[in-house]
Structure 1
Amino acid sequence: MQQGSQSSIPLLYPGEVLDTIAGFPTIYHYQPASDLATRDQRKPLVLCVTGGLHLARVFYGGHRGSSPSNFLAYWLNKLGFGVLSLSYPLETDPEIMPVTAAEFRIQDWGQQAAVTTEKIIREKRLGTRSLILISWSMGGRMVVPFNMAAKELGLEVLQFISFAATPGISSLRAFPTELTCRTSGYFTALSHLDVFYQQVKEMEELNEDRDIIPRDIFLREYVGATPINLIGLGLKYDGKARFVRDEATHEEDTRVMDFENFPLISAIYPTSISDASHALADKATWGFLLTYKLESMIGNDGLRNFQAGTKWEQFVELVHGAPERMCIPVPGNHFFFVGEKSSRRVAERVAKLITDAKRLQNEVFELLAKKH
């Protein structure tokens, strides 16, 4: 296990830890709530899981010359939340993590994230075993495997918040056809990295033209090649030099229709045409899954208890209105949570969604408890 400091291990940022967990390399970064005097031990840990081709540094920054206030973790800390940010195995240039995970799958991702989270909660002696899962982009594919692994470790995932995330449905998002299979067995897509950085520049414009991440640092320290199994194209590395069709379906890996094993679902989605697919579809996509999650919470016994009448009508109204309450837009593109103004706004929206989710869940339980 290696810990980062600006002098001893230059490739790791301050506060980062490089480790092998659940059989694969990872980098994790934990930031406790800022104010020790007012820290609320009852608040859940916020877990931030990154997306395709990116290290979790997008949540906390840390490159030389960076401003912490340009990143989400800083503002969540100010609101009293501890934040754990996780990077799955990536191949970077220069190398940060050992490149040993070409066969890393969604199930491995969920297991590694859960074991890392339990480790931090135990080692830091946090006052809670409850957490909020934030997954960005491709990170939406690992929600159910993570939740199942977390339950086995005695953790409670109170809520999932999508950050322009994609659920584990095959080929739901278009991906560039020019995928490159590296000698490591990981994939990269250079044209996609150019698109990503252009969106970072757009976020700078939305944040009073303040620099967030210089291009050379972004390409060297924030992005990397990714295990092919994670992106939902039904491909795997053949162990030699190319990608071949995977025998297992992506839906088998992600268990996306296992509604009972989803946490309560919510979403923050961008409004910019630069991220048109998420701007147009995320409310409907995650609203669809939320609707079935709410149905799974009542089960057949709950339906029998409702029968017909006022209580049933109230529940129908609650379920139909839930996507509007729990899926909310913010200005920006795929990187809507970077930049000082934007990251602060998103942290406030996260806190509000946590409160709103508690209220929604209480309303469901109250209706289930009511007698005719």
Structure 2
Amino acid sequence: MKTKLYVLYGGKSVEHEISLKTARTVLGAVDESKFELHPIYIARDGRWCAPDTEGLPGVEAAERLVAEPTHGSEAASIGDVLLRKLSLPGKKVVLPLIHGSFGEDGTLQGLLEMLNVPYVGNGVLSAALTLDKAMSKQMLAQAGIRQVEHLVILRGQWLADETRCLSALEDGIGYPCYVKPSSLGSSIGISRCDDRSELLAGIAEAFQYDAKLVVERELPGREIQVAVMGNEEPIASLPGEFIHDHRFFDFTSKYSDPRLRMSIPAELSEALTGQVRSLALQAYRALGCEGLARVDFFLDRDGLLYLNEINALPGFTSASMYPVMWERTDGTTYAALIERLIEYAFARHEARQSLRYERHATC
């Protein structure tokens, strides 16, 4: 009997469209001799629905991703999908492909834990930590991993004393710097700032997306990425690098520049390659990651590595860095990579079933 694969995508997130691209690729690549596909779309307003793709092959199902939810509230729509889809008998697993808010931040993972269904990717705590740049930096600092100098600003602090916050940023970070929403991906809401006027504009922009910001000193150098997967014994890919001439590698540069190309493996010495792979595994374990993550580094002009961030749900189209790094590391194809991640999901779920949720009776 085929395993039921529930693919969740879309979401109440500014990264909604990126999620749709990922879902199209996944649905078109899954081995349908092994999996029975069940696409589940989450609209921009948070309502769930299951597009009518019954009997369609994955490639055709991928063309019917967006549907109009018929239920009037988030709760009613979620309940309907759970009753009609996730309650079906047989072996099942969920593949969450929702980037950013309400998908990558631990909230969706918490729901799936309560439903006691296996799911691909990081658990509640690691998902929340990796999406929150401020918290992940704090945890990584405790693990002794080198990072770029940064400060965190809360909306309340900014509103209470803007002058004091600006002084702290200019004295402690300086220019140029980057202003980032703490819990968002794909470079959305991020600004590069060369002076106070740009910093003020960048802070105003970032506060539209989050109530907590991270401001980092610019570090001239290269950006190196490593793909990691696994549970208790994770493995790291060969490092990769995007080759581009952008001063700031923003959303448009990442997704729309036809000149962008990958260098995999990145041109590094053997010693540096080993170091960056080892550091990626150290960071992955420090944040309790499971399933998969992409670990991003800065390499400065003196050859020192600085951890930039960990992305617990990296871009996952066939042209994204994460799957391509695995293909060029050990020949793992896109479809085979999905299956390996599903195997990790089942292994973690099985291990959790041995835990007790009631105390031993006393004599």
TM-score class, shorter-chain normalisation, is: 0.3 to 0.5
Q: TM-score, normalising length from structure 1?
A: 0.36
